[in-house]
Amino acid sequence: MALLISSILALIALTPTALSHSHLAHILINGQLYHGFDPRPNQANHPSRVSWSSAAADDGFVSPANYSHPDIICHTAAASPPAHAPVRPGDRIHVQWNGWPLGHVGPVLTYLAPCSRLKGSETGCTGVDKTELRWTKLDDSRPVMEPAPGRGRDGGVQGQRWATDVMIAANNSWLVAVPTGLETGAYVLRQETIALHYAGEKGGAQNYPLCVNLWVEGGEGGGGGGLKLDSFDAREFYREDDPGVLVNVTTLRSYSVPGPTVAVGATPVPYSEQTAGISRADGTPVVVTKGTGTVAFNGSPTPTKAVMARLRKGGVR
């Protein structure tokens, strides 16, 4: 009986790790931390978070059956927060996941969508209709899967090294380069990991799309170079039978990345430069005013009357 109880307790101890999925814990920009969103029950999420909320209380995924549903955009019932993380072209953003299980192998994909010119963009990305966002792929984590003799321990796939292995080695984080050529304004950064450990059967892939709001201090008119924005609808990124979605990872010799191609002018960070991010302090997110400028976030979706009075006095309308 004692042995049985010990075995049950050991199994219970292992279960959270074995079944754990993930959410976006925070992002780091030049050592400044901007808070993510934890969808699990009874979590006290930070009021100035920049991550979109989701209703995935189990920290789970979006299935291929929902590839044409709005849930694939920024996760289940996702909603934008009022805050935006300030960043400049050329900066690098550490996207910090709260963890990632070994063996849940797959690609790490990054997209960007501007909120300007959309209805509701007077407050940046806060009031826009997410189905109206149009995306540009910044990174597809190539080569995604490469031969790596000796891999496969602790739940990995024998003979393979995946982008998710690189992410895990960087303390479950992924480094994203903000490209040049962006106009000043509000954007949504969408990072997605697709877990393929059950993808050998149709419907078995597990998509984790997570979004954060950015305020990019770019150059007007697109900067005369750099990133060339595309216009992809996230609900048309993938199909259930795409070769990078319906795939048996144990027999692969190469991997076909699903979704759009990386845009001209995007600058993916290579595997050799994927490192863990170090936080120095909490950053100060901003709230967008009339789509043309920002003030420091004060815990409210819009600036207070006192802030607006100072802005009017300074000539900002």
Task: Tell me the per-residue pLDDT of 97-151, one tens digit each, with 9 for 90 and over.
Answer: 999 999 999 999 999 999 999 999 999 999 999 999 999 999 999 999 998 877 6
Instruction: Report how far residue 12's alpha carbon sits from residue 304's, in angstroms, rounded to the nearest whole number.
Output: 49
User: What's residue 52's pLDDT?
Assistant: 98
- Does residue 236 surpass a pLDDT of 50? yes
Task: Tell me the per-residue pLDDT of 250-274, one tens digit each, with 9 for 90 and over.
Answer: 989 999 999 999 999 999 999 999 9
- Does residue 18 surpass a pLDDT of 90? no
User: Comparing 310 with 45, which gets the higher pLDDT?
Assistant: 45
> Which two three-digit tokens encode residue 228?
């060339």
Residue 168: HSE in the Cβ half-sphere, 13 Å Cα cutoff: 17
> Which two three-digit tokens encode residue 308?
């607006």
- Does residue 7 surpass a pLDDT of 70? no
Residues 6+ apart with CB under 8 A from 265: 179, 180, 181, 225, 226, 227, 228
Q: For residue 168, which amino acid is it?
A: I
User: What's residue 220's pLDDT?
Assistant: 53
Cα 229 to Cα 69, 113, 134, 182: the distances in Å are: 23, 8, 9, 9
- Does residue 60 surpass a pLDDT of 90? yes
End-to-end CA distance of the chain: 74
User: What's residue 302's pLDDT?
Assistant: 62
CB neighbour class for 15 (10 Å; exposed up to 12, middle 13-18, buried from 19): exposed
Task: Tell me the per-residue pLDDT of 152-202, one tens digit each, with 9 for 90 and over.
Answer: 655 678 889 999 999 999 999 999 999 999 999 999 999 999 999 999 999
Helix-strand-coil split of the chain, %, nearest 5: 20, 25, 55
Match 């080569």 to its residue by tokens. 143
Q: Residue 226 — very low, low, confident or very high, per pLDDT cuts 50/70/90?
A: confident
- Does residue 2 surpass a pLDDT of 50? no
Instruction: Report how far residue 234's alpha carbon sits from residue 22's, in angstroms, rounded to the nearest whole number.
Output: 20
pTM of the model: 0.89
Q: Residue 16 — very low, low, confident or very high, per pLDDT cuts 50/70/90?
A: very low
User: What's residue 155's pLDDT?
Assistant: 61
User: What's residue 299's pLDDT?
Assistant: 79
- Does residue 304 surpass a pLDDT of 60? no
User: What's residue 15's pLDDT?
Assistant: 33
Q: For residue 93, which amino acid is it?
A: I
